[in-house]
Amino acid sequence: MESDILDALEQVGYEGPLQTEEGLVRACEGGLLSTEYVNLCMWLASRLKPLCDLEESISSGSGDTDGLQFEMSGMLKELQCPYQGLVSGIIQEGLQNKKDYLKLVLFLCSELQAAQIVKRRPAKDKEHKDRNDLQAICETLKLPELREQGVAELFSGIGEKVLLQELPKDHIGKPVLKNSLDSEQWERLEQINTVLSSEYECRRRMLMKRLDVTVQSFGWSERAKAGGVLWAYQPKRHTLAQSSSVGMAHLLAAREDICNVVKTSSGSSRENTACAVNKVLYIVSKCLMSVHKS
């Protein structure tokens, strides 16, 4: 855990005294009584506050333990920290060991990393960089300049240049989009994609919230706490993106085989997913239907 924290601190731009494993462990052993540990938490909170529009912050010094506990608990709640032991423990009796204080720093680092990634590239900067990348591709492959051809023609030219000649003729497949579109049609497609992405993001947020609540429910069990369910879940949870990454490039890259959708309940799919549990469920459902009819 210590090495993960040190890597995360380096990535978020921390240049304080706790850049070695020995110093970090020593500070975490002191907890809120350690000035260096408190200063690290204050530094992370000060960077998180503008990026996440937080109302809570950490301003109390290491001498005001009660104030620190109250401020940290409020900030963790606002960040929707999934570690209920941290949120409740820090305000009630305080964190008990070095591992809990390390976990707190790791959570704040992870939140700061995510916030920096989200805020790092405004849409206009991204569009400008994408255009520069396409121009560099044209120069490298000696294709006509971007302004002299449409997007579809550009990608067709790139495909002809970079695809290996040894591949079978129909290996790549035919594109789904066969017609060339003008700039107005591309703009309209972009607007449609924006609306759909917003809808999908709403659905993903709802599903991820349900996932968080489900995993948090394991915290009610002492056995699950001992097994470290929440600790194992947190790193994987941060890899789940809330927004959709589908764009126009995916449309241009789509082949006709994308239309061949096989239902998960079809016979061919069930051959690989059927198990004894399914048979039991089937029998139970039949019995329930018989009872209902009678």
Nearest 10 degrees: Cα torsion 244, 250, 256, 262: -20
- pLDDT tens string 181-194: 787 888 888 889 88
Reported confidence tier of residue 16, pLDDT bands at 50, 70, 90: confident
Q: Provide the 3-class DSSP secondary structure of residue 175.
A: strand
Reported confidence tier of residue 6, pLDDT bands at 50, 70, 90: confident
φ, ψ for residue 168, nearest 5 deg: -55, 155
Task: Please report, for residues 129, 187, 269, 290, the alpha-carbon distance to residue 234 in angstroms, rounded to integers and kept in the order given.
Answer: 32, 39, 32, 44
Query: For the purposes of burial, counting CB atoms within 10 Å of the CB of 163, is it exposed (0-12), middle (13-18) or buried (19 or more)?
Result: exposed
Could you say which DSSP state residue 255 is in?
A: B
pTM of the complete model beyond 0.75 = no
Beta-carbon contacts of residue 175 (< 8 Å; ≥ 6 apart) = 252, 254, 255, 256
Tell me, what's the pLDDT at 103? Answer: 86
Least confident of 7-11, 44-48, 63-67, 125-129: 125-129
Between 192 and 156, name the one with better pLDDT.
192
Reported confidence tier of residue 33, pLDDT bands at 50, 70, 90: confident
CA dist 10 and 50 (Å) reads 20
Write out the two tokens for 218: 């394991």
Could you say which DSSP state residue 218 is in?
A: G
Could you say which DSSP state residue 145 is in?
A: P
The mean predicted confidence, pLDDT, of the chain is: 76
* Widest CA span in the chain: 76
Tell me, what's the pLDDT at 177? Answer: 82
Q: Provide the 3-class DSSP secondary structure of residue 283.
A: helix
Judged against a pLDDT cut of 80, whether residue 46 lies above it is answered with: yes
Q: Which of 125-129, 139-143, 249-253, 258-262 has the highest mean pLDDT?
A: 249-253
Judged against a pLDDT cut of 70, whether residue 3 lies above it is answered with: yes
Tell me, what's the pLDDT at 198? Answer: 87
Judged against a pLDDT cut of 60, whether residue 124 lies above it is answered with: no
Reported confidence tier of residue 125, pLDDT bands at 50, 70, 90: low
- pLDDT tens string 252-288: 788 887 777 666 666 666 666 666 666 666 666 666 6
